[in-house]
């Protein structure tokens, strides 16, 4: 059988870092659903967290990560991630990427929520994602083939070995294509597009989660979804992110009359962990109160935050009054596909990296600017792992083109917008058992147990994948009868020690309450 060495599905930071670090001998195919710039990574305003500042230590970054995520992490993985942070920044600098500098020529460091000191590096002010991604995309070697507008709808499994051996995809004409590979990597982002309020790129609708689940892989911690407190809020809708870096520069959340919203709510006030600020803003909005980000104390706001300035202008929000209307929305999935330290899933030949994967580094609530770092770290780790397993063989770029999609009768599936609204209302920032049950019942009326999708159109498959992913989130949120980090149950408002080491693992074969005890790394070990 002629195959690629590696197929990467997705084109965000983890995908491109992997492609960048794979051996030049390795024939790599990148398949992306839309254009390669359509990713959450490309949109990232906040930067990359790393202990690069004078006097900063990985130990301190570790402590902040663990505290923000409510001690629900794989501590060893967090330890490795934060230790590697400075080296990853150095590598990007050495390869020609310029991070923003302060007046002395040092990398300028920004502040974000739940960090104990300034630790965030940026490019182009609030356009870090764009700069990093343009840099990685521009430095791809000739062994990397990128095909845009390919919707991967099935992972191909060997019937005997049960190994993942390739993918089926649909092109823009709806024709089906098959691609084989020694290794298949899912790097398809999270689930933001399942919620009506989100900071995510509209193309991010949980496809990686649904693909992995349908193939039999294990998923974990699907109830842990982070809502970002400050999305630009216009006419009852959220229309894009207003970075936490604005609060890091002194911006304050205020009510209509200027009263500080976070005063007395948490010792870190506006820079409290995200789930705390998001919940507060949600409660304000629920009682009909508007919330604004007061930027009057930030000099040269338009220069420091060009992306946010453009977003405000595009949406008719004038910055003259020096306050920006904000509201919370879905931002990041902490759970995802179960992986080991290099991204290997529970299926041989199948890997996951980036937000699609659950590496255990974010716990119950991700620390600000740790996601680009995670993408860089695991993209590189997986490249090192796969380079050791490189096998030279003949390559054929596309193996087969077959049946054009021609779905005659549409199965009963939820409308995308209806599903998004239901998810936001019942599985959003504050959850209750009875609302989750209502949501589960609504989702159950639709059947996702379809065997072959060859004849389906992309739109229908997307709705099916959204349904599948919504069911996984809802089930996990129903089962976890406590509040922890981003999972907020009004009927179980406290953290429950009994749940402290329990991870809800879901797979086609069933649900498992998996007990995992991760050793807490004493900071002295590497301080
Ligand atoms: C932000 O800029 O507020 C988002 C950064 C992140 O998600 O870490």
**DSSP codes joined into one string, 2-25:** --EEEEEE--SHHHHHHHHHS-TT
pLDDT value at position 408?
Answer: 60
> Does residue 134 share a domain with residue 10?
yes
Pocket of ligand 1, candidates 122, 123, 241: which has the most ligand atoms within 8 Å of its Cβ, to mutate? 241
> Does residue 238 share a domain with residue 203?
no
Asked if residue 411 is part of any domain, the answer here is: no
Asked if residue 340 is part of any domain, the answer here is: yes
Distance 198 CA to ligand 1 centre (A): 13
3-state secondary structure of 253: strand
The position carrying tokens 């529970």 is 346
Domain-ending residue, one of 391, 413, 434? 391
pLDDT value at position 447?
Answer: 84
User: Whole-model pTM?
Assistant: 0.95
Asked if residue 153 is part of any domain, the answer here is: yes
Which of these is catalytic: 252, 274, 420, 431? 274
Distance 84 CA to ligand 1 centre (A): 20
Each residue of 153-165: pLDDT tens digit? 999 999 899 999 9
Each residue of 444-476: pLDDT tens digit? 999 877 778 998 999 999 999 999 999 999 999
Distance 44 CA to ligand 1 centre (A): 7
- The torsion angles phi and psi of 291, rounded to 5 degrees, stand at -125, 140
Question: Taking 60 as the threshold, does the pLDDT of residue 126 lie above it?
Answer: yes
Q: Report how far apart, in Å, the C-alpha atoms of 388 and of each of 2, 144, 428 are.
A: 20, 18, 42
Distance 384 CA to ligand 1 centre (A): 28
> Does residue 294 share a domain with residue 145?
no
Pocket of ligand 1, candidates 39, 46, 242, 253: which has the most ligand atoms within 8 Å of its Cβ, to mutate? 46
The span from the CA of 24 to the CA of 390, in Å, is: 11
> Does residue 29 share a domain with residue 13?
yes
Pick the atom of ligand 1 nearest to 244's CA.
Answer: 3
Q: What is the CATH number of the domain that holds 281?
A: 3.90.700.10
* Contact present, 42 and 129 (Cβ < 8 Å): yes
What is the percent of the chain where pLDDT is above 70? 94
> Does residue 94 share a domain with residue 206?
yes
> Does residue 206 share a domain with residue 110?
yes
Q: Which residues of 32-63 are buried (b: 16+ CB within 10 A; e: fewer)?
A: bbbebbbbbbbbbbbbbbbbbbeebbbbbbbb
Closest by CA position to 329, among listed 222, 431, 242, 231: 231
Asked if 274 is an active-site residue, the reply is: yes
> Does residue 362 share a domain with residue 310?
no
Six-digit token string for 365: 């609530």
pLDDT value at position 398?
Answer: 53
Each residue of 104-116: pLDDT tens digit? 999 999 999 999 9
Pocket of ligand 1, candidates 13, 48, 112: which has the most ligand atoms within 8 Å of its Cβ, to mutate? 112
Kindly report the protein residue whose alpha carbon is nearest to atom 4 of ligand 1: 46
Domain-ending residue, one of 313, 331, 349? 331
Asked if residue 436 is part of any domain, the answer here is: no
DSSP string, 88-103: HHHHHHHTTPPPPB-T
Pick the atom of ligand 1 nearest to 369's CA.
Answer: 8
> Which residues are 350's β-sheet partners?
184
Query: In 388-445, which ranges are continuous DSSP H helix?
Result: 416-426, 433-444
Residue 114 burial (CB < 10 Å; 0-12/13-18/19+)? buried
Each residue of 367-393: pLDDT tens digit? 999 999 999 999 999 999 999 999 887
Pick the atom of ligand 1 nearest to 45's CA.
Answer: 2
Confidence of residue 520 (pLDDT cuts 50, 70, 90): low
Asked if residue 482 is part of any domain, the answer here is: no
> Does residue 179 share a domain with residue 81?
yes
Residue 173 burial (CB < 10 Å; 0-12/13-18/19+)? exposed
Instruction: Look up the domain containing 191 and give its range.
Output: 2-224+334-391
Distance 368 CA to ligand 1 centre (A): 5
> Does residue 299 share a domain with residue 349?
no
What is the percent of the chain where pLDDT is above 90? 90
As for ligand 1, residues whose beta carbon falls within 6 Å of it are: 45-46, 243-245, 368-369, 371
* Contact present, 229 and 204 (Cβ < 8 Å): no
> Does residue 307 share a domain with residue 213?
no
Asked if residue 396 is part of any domain, the answer here is: no
Mean pLDDT for 188-195 is 97
Q: What is the CATH number of the domain that holds 34?
A: 3.50.50.60
The position carrying tokens 């004849």 is 455
Domains held by the chain: number: 2
- State the Cα angle at 114 between 110 and 501, rounded to 5°: 140
For the chain, give the mean pLDDT: 93
Asked if residue 220 is part of any domain, the answer here is: yes
Asked if residue 129 is part of any domain, the answer here is: yes
Q: Which residues of 411-429 are buried (b: 16+ CB within 10 A; e: fewer)?
A: eebbebeebbebbbebbbb
> Does residue 173 share a domain with residue 280?
no
The span from the CA of 273 to the CA of 277, in Å, is: 7
> Does residue 297 share a domain with residue 365?
no
Pick the atom of ligand 1 nearest to 332's CA.
Answer: 7
Question: Taking 70 as the threshold, does the pLDDT of residue 401 lie above it?
Answer: no
A 10 A CB-CB count for 227 gives 30
Residue 306 burial (CB < 10 Å; 0-12/13-18/19+)? middle
């Amino acid at each position: 059988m002629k195959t690629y060495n590696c197929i990467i599905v997705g084109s965000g930071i983890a995908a491109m870092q992997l492609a960048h670090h794979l051996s030049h001998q390795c024939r790599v195919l990148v398949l992306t659903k839309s254009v390669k710039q359509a990713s959450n990574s490309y949109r990232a305003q906040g930067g990359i967290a790393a202990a690069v500042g004078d006097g900063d230590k990985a130990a301190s970054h570790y402590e902040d990560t663990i505290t923000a995520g409510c001690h629900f992490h794989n501590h060893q993985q967090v330890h490795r991630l934060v230790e590697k942070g400075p080296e990853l920044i150095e590598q990007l600098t050495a390869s020609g990427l310029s991070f923003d500098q302060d007046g002395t020529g040092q990398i300028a460091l920004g502040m974000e929520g739940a960090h104990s000191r300034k630790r965030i590096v940026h490019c182009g002010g609030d356009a870090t994602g764009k700069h990093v991604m343009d840099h990685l995309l521009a430095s791809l070697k000739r062994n990397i083939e990128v095909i845009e507008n390919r919707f991967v709808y099935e992972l191909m499994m060997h019937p005997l070995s049960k190994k993942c051996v390739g993918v089926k995809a649909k092109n823009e004409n709806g024709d089906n294509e098959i691609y084989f590979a020694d290794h298949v990597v899912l790097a398809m982002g999270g689930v933001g597009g399942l919620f009506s309020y989100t900071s995510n790129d509209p193309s991010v609708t949980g496809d990686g989660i649904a693909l992995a689940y349908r193939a039999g892989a294990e998923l974990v911690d699907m109830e842990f979804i982070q809502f970002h407190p400050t999305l630009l809020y216009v006419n009852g809708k959220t229309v894009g992110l207003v970075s936490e870096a604005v609060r890091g520069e002194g911006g304050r959340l205020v009510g209509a009359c200027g009263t500080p919203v976070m005063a007395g709510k948490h010792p870190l006030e506006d820079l409290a962990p995200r789930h705390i600020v998001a919940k507060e803003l949600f409660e304000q909005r629920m009682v009909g109160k508007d919330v604004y980000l007061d930027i009057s104390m930030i000099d040269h706001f338009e220069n420091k935050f060009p992306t946010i300035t453009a977003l405000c202008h595009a949406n008719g929000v004038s910055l003259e009054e020096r306050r920006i209307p904000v509201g919370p929305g879905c931002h990041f999935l902490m759970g995802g596909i179960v992986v080991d330290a290099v991204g290997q899933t529970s299926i041989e030949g199948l890997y996951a990296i980036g937000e699609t994967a659950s590496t255990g580094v974010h716990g119950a609530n991700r620390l600000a600017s740790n996601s680009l770092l995670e993408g860089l770290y695991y993209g590189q780790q997986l490249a090192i792992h796969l380079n050791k397993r490189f096998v030279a063989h003949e390559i054929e770029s596309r193996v087969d083109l077959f049946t054009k999609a021609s779905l005659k009768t549409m199965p009963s599936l939820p409308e995308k917008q209806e599903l998004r609204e239901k998810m936001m209302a019942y599985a959003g920032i504050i959850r209750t058992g009875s609302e989750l049950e209502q949501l589960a019942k609504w989702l159950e009326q639709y059947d996702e147990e379809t065997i072959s999708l060859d004849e389906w159109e992309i739109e229908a498959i997307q709705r099916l994948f959204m349904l599948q992913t919504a069911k996984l989130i809802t089930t996990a949120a129903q089962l976890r009868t406590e509040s922890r980090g981003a999972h907020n149950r009004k009927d179980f408002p406290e953290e429950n020690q009994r749940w402290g080491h329990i991870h809800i693992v879901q797979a086609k074969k069933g649900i498992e309450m998996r007990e995992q005890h991760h050793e807490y790394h004493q900071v002295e070990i590497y301080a």
